[in-house]
């Protein structure tokens, strides 16, 4: 059977739904499309599913890399595609779940045709102040800049690099994807207030479960991808004494809510993934919609 994609913002419950769907299908395996759960040293901070939460279903691309190893969307997609082929060869159905937008897009639609990075140009742009790269992106592609998280230097630099190297606005590359031929997809939703409350609880539980000790035990040198793990810098600030525990909890919940908002915005631009309210009957509804 074709792969099934289960997407949604962080904290919505997509991992549990994916496990239930796999159990209902009987012959299925789950592949993570999360940029950070791939690191074995940060299972609490990345909210990686525990052995119990996996429910006896084989999971792939979770806890398979060291934090010194870099991960990117193209590399992750190639690994996921290899997993999908192996799963299908076993006669099982791959279920891909995660909320890292570009990682999902590369798996579902193929690796972007956008120009590859140019090391010399990248170094030149990264040496500039963020305000300058933002200004240059806004001048070169106002519409693309408006759709970019201008607080994130990595996004600003990469998008400006694409515009400069490709000679076309970001919209050209975003709209140049082919329709997904990889399999059906579902985008799980929750009311914003409900999702925000779940995120706040998860931030509290994450810290209580040992996320602070987890970060304290990390090596000094992390890969560029691992460095961007949500909440990592906030916990480091706490460890350095610049935040109280209460301030850390509040900041972690806020950062996660902001991330979930960006994920919801991205998912609204992915009409191939059918919106579905996340509830106790979600897996059964998926089965029905798939005609199974």
pLDDT for res 168: 83
Kindly tell me if the per-residue pLDDT of 202 is higher than 90: yes
Kindly tell me if the per-residue pLDDT of 2 is higher than 70: yes
C-beta separation of 190 from 277 below 8 A? yes
- The mean predicted confidence, pLDDT, of the chain is 91
Name the pLDDT band for 176 (thresholds 50, 70, 90): low
| Spatial separation of the C-alpha atoms in residues 264 and 7, rounded to whole Å | 10
Per-residue tokens: 122: 């990248």
CA distances from 196 to 178, 190, 256, 269, 282 (A): 34, 9, 9, 21, 20
pLDDT for res 175: 64
Domain 4-111+177-289 CATH class label: alpha beta
| Spatial separation of the C-alpha atoms in residues 177 and 209, rounded to whole Å | 41
pLDDT for res 11: 94
pLDDT for res 119: 84
Query: Helix, strand, or coil here: 96?
Result: strand
Name the pLDDT band for 180 (thresholds 50, 70, 90): low
Name the pLDDT band for 148 (thresholds 50, 70, 90): confident
pLDDT for res 118: 82
- The total of other beta-carbon atoms located within 10 Å of residue 200's CB is 18
Name the pLDDT band for 275 (thresholds 50, 70, 90): very high
Chain Cα centroid distance, residue 280: 23
> What average pLDDT score do residues 180-208 get?
91
Domains of the chain by residue range: 4-111+177-289, 119-174
Per-residue tokens: 291: 């005609």
Kindly tell me if the per-residue pLDDT of 111 is higher than 80: no
Name the pLDDT band for 59 (thresholds 50, 70, 90): very high
- The total of other beta-carbon atoms located within 10 Å of residue 192's CB is 13
């Amino acid at each position: 059977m074709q792969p099934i994609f289960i997407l949604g913002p962080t904290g919505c419950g997509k991992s549990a739904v994916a496990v239930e769907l796999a159990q209902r299908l009987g012959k299925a395996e789950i592949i993570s499309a999360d940029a950070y759960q791939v690191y074995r040293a940060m299972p609490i901070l990345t909210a990686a599913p525990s052995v119990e939460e996996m429910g006896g279903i084989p999971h792939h691309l979770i806890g398979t890399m060291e934090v010194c190893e870099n991960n990117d969307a193209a590399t992750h997609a190639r690994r996921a595609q290899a997993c999908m082929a192996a799963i299908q060869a076993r006669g099982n159905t791959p279920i891909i779940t995660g909320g890292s937008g570009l990682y999902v897009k590369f798996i579902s639609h193929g690796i972007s045709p956008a120009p590859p990075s140019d090391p010399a140009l990248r170094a030149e742009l990264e040496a500039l102040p963020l305000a300058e790269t933002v200004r240059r992106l806004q001048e070169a592609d106002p519409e693309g800049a408006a759709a970019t998280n201008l607080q994130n230097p990595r996004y600003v630099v990469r998008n400006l690099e694409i515009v400069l190297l490709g000679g076309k606005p970001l919209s050209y590359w975003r709209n140049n994807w082919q329709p997904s031929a990889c399999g059906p997809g579902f985008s799980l939703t929750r009311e914003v207030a409900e999702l925000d409350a779940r995120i706040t609880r998860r931030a509290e539980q994450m810290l209580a479960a040992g996320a602070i000790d987890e970060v304290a035990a990390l090596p000094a040198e992390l890969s560029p991808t691992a460095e961007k793990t949500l909440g990592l810098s906030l916990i480091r600030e706490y460890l350095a004494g610049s935040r109280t525990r209460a301030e850390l909890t509040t900041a972690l919940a806020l950062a996660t809510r902001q991330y979930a908002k960006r994920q919801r915005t991205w998912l609204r631009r992915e009409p191939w993934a059918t919106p579905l309210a996340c509830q106790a009957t979600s897996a059964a509804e998926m089965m029905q919609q798939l005609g199974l």
